[in-house]
Amino acid sequence: MEKIIEIKNLTYAYPNQTKAALQNLSLTVNRGAWVALIGHNGSGKSTLAKLLNHLLTPSDGQILIDQIPVDDEHVDVIRNRVGMVFQNPDNQFVGATVADDVAFGLENRQMPHAQMQERVQMVLEEVHMWEFAEREPAHLSGGQKQRVAIASALAIEPQILILDEATAMLDPKGRFEMMEEVRQLKADLGPDLTVISITHDIDEAASADQVIVLNDGQLVETGTPDEIFTDAQKLQALGLDVPFAEQLKAKLAARGVAVPTQYETMEGMAEWIWQLISKK
Amino acid sequence: MFNKILIGRFIPGHSLVHRLDARVKLIVSIAFIFVIFLATSWPSYLWASAFTLLVVMMTGLGLRVYLRGIRPLIYLMLFTTALQILFVTTGPIWWQWGWLKITEDGVVNGIAIFIRFLLIILISTVLTLTTAPLDLADAMEQLLQPLKKIGVPVAELALMLSIALRFIPTLLDEAEKIVNAQRARGVRFNEGNLLQRVKAFVPVLIPLFINAIKRAIELGDAMEARGYRGDVERTKYRQHHWQINDTVALLSFIIFSCALAWLRYIFG
């Protein structure tokens, strides 16, 4: 598998702070993967996201995106490859209307007007927001604003989409719809889009291809969900939740039911329960 | 509490005036302020008033909307008129009391000033009622383009203006939330004397400012992440096309102004 992100010995300390927000972090992400970045508050997740887009400059170490070093010299190229969706729906809505907001990134790249119109319509249709193109943000729900934010990020055709707790401020319905939208996009674009989702939603992380666990600015572990989530005690010690399927397994085991030892997704557990019931 | 504050007072519509390019409306509104000084005789005032009324009728918005636009300025208008009446002391004296006197010239001047004032307010109300704030901001940016040559950051100013307009409803919402939160904790905003009421608003303004700064920082990150860098030229998504109607409107205004100049020449 081709690597799209390579992080080597990355350290970052915020100005005027002695303790580094990220310490000696090294990891790689494969092209086309869906990566979940988890960790409790202050573990350095958002700092890492900002470093990937050169919104912050590393104190030490190096990041390569698509073999290109992330530094002052390559900042434009990097930002053409990395799109970001932030947490607060209002604070990333730059344009006066939905269409203006999507066009903002294109205007910055001096795209000609005709092409810009085409692109704005295309990405807004992709996230099912085209009918709202002329709406002002004050007349949109949080979930709709976040879908516009996705469209704005996608408009520049990035290879990597970073969701920095993008669903944290939405209600459950908005959260579900937004994640469905991203899943659909990922399914359409396949290996052309790498998704890095910083999340508190452990069930969302459980469906990722790769999970990265950060704690106090250090990499705890990285691997597939089944490698990470089977060690419930370790996750809980880090202040993290355990996916629902694993919680269910633990509770069933406590009642003396012989549960599968390997990691199971929600669907896997449902399947297993059906089999268990039909055997009786 | 805050929804009473109307922003921009824009009323959407489909009238001919609504559909005019914001640039035409802006140019005409500003030019009108100067052109109106050509009116010095009754026929010219009649002519200017007829033009203004025609424009007002063409917006398709009821007269009541315009009266609401005039109301906040009525005292200023009356004050200016009163000054003219009392302090222009030439011409036949109509009434005198000590050093105070009202003369014919004073009254004529006062009425003239009142009409000028009224017409200027009506025309600028037409502008704000029929033009979306964003279009107005775009029009300003385009009309200020020449200032770029002397180093005025026109594009940046226009972007700041459009972001400020975009965040007004957001900040009003937030202010309302803070007010409600304070109310729930027992703060009373509409009791006590003026000083007490003003004081009650300090705990609203502080969190509002802090949040506004926080928002600005996050917005800055979001803008940079999308490739914004103040130092390079940007293309514009929003384009305005000058149409035949716009040319006709501008020509009509020029004809109106020439006629006004001609009336001045004839009647003095």
List, for residues B98-112, the tens digit of each pLDDT value: 778 888 888 888 999
Q: Which residue has the higher pLDDT, B268 or B165?
A: B165
ipTM of the complex: 0.85
Report residue A98 as tokens. 């939905």
Closest CA to B75 of B125, B34, B114, B32: B114
Query: Which residue matches tokens 């119109």?
Result: A117
B233: nearest CA partner in chain A = A110
Residue B202, classed as helix, strand or coil, is helix
* Best residue of B237, B240, B241 to probe chain A, by most A CBs closer than 10 Å: B237
Query: Among A94, A103, A120, whose Cβ lies nearest the Cβ of B223?
Result: A94
φ/ψ bin of A9: left (φ > 0), alpha (ψ from -120 to 50), beta (otherwise): left
Global pTM reads 0.80
Give residue B8's pLDDT band: very low, low, confident or very high (50, 70, 90): low
Q: DSSP label at B4?
A: T
Ranges of beta strands (E only) in chain B are: 93-97, 100-103
Q: How far is B170 from chain A (nearest CA, A)?
A: 7
CA closest to B168 among chain A residues: A138
Q: How confident is the model at residue B67 (pLDDT cuts 50, 70, 90)?
A: confident
Distance CA B25, CA B250 (A): 9
Q: Which of B108, B76, B115, B75 is nearest to B89 (CA)?
A: B108
Rounded distance between C-alpha atoms, residue A184 and residue A272, angstroms: 27
Give pLDDT, residue A56: 94
Chain A residues with CB inside 8 Å of B227's CB?
76, 79-80, 105, 108-109, 156
Structural domains of chain A sorted by starting position, each given as residue range(s) with its CATH number in brackets: 3-226 (3.40.50.300), 243-280 (no CATH)
Q: How far apart are CA B197 and CA B190, in angstroms?
A: 7
First to last CA, chain A: 44
The DSSP annotation for chain A comes to: --EEEEEEEEEE--TT-SS-SEEEEEEEEETT-EEEEE--TTSSHHHHHHHHTTSS--SEEEEEETTEE-SGGGHHHHHHHEEEE-S-SGGG--SSSHHHHHHHHHHHTT--HHHHHHHHHHHHHHTT-GGGTT--GGGS-HHHHHHHHHHHHHTT--SEEEEESTTTTS-HHHHHHHHHHHHHHHHHHGGG-EEEEE-S-HHHHHTSSEEEEEETTEEEEEE-HHHHHT-HHHHHHTT----HHHHHHHHHHHTT----SS---HHHHHHHHHHHHHH-
- Spatial neighbors of B235 by CB under 8 A, at least 6 apart, are A106, A107, A110, A111, A112, A113, A116
With an 8 Å Cβ cutoff, is B169 touching chain A?
yes
pLDDT value of residue A28: 94
Q: Is the dihedral angle over the CA atoms A104, A109, A115, A118 positive or is it negative?
A: negative
Minimal Cβ distance to A138: which of B162, B163, B170 = B170
pLDDT > 60? residue B7: no
Task: Check B218 against A116: CB less than 8 A apart.
Answer: no
Averaged pLDDT score across all residues of chain A = 89
Residue B184 pLDDT greater than 80, yes or no = yes
3-state secondary structure of B172: helix
Look up tokens 């009525």; give the residue: B74
Q: Do A108 and B166 touch (CB under 8 A)?
A: no
What's the pLDDT band for B57 if we cut at 50, 70, 90?
Answer: very high
Q: Which residues of chain A have pLDDT under 70?
A: 280
- Residue B234: DSSP 8-state: -
B179 to chain A nearest CA, in Å?
19
Weakest-pLDDT range from A221-230, A233-242, B183-192, B214-223 = A233-242
> Which pLDDT belongs to residue A280?
67
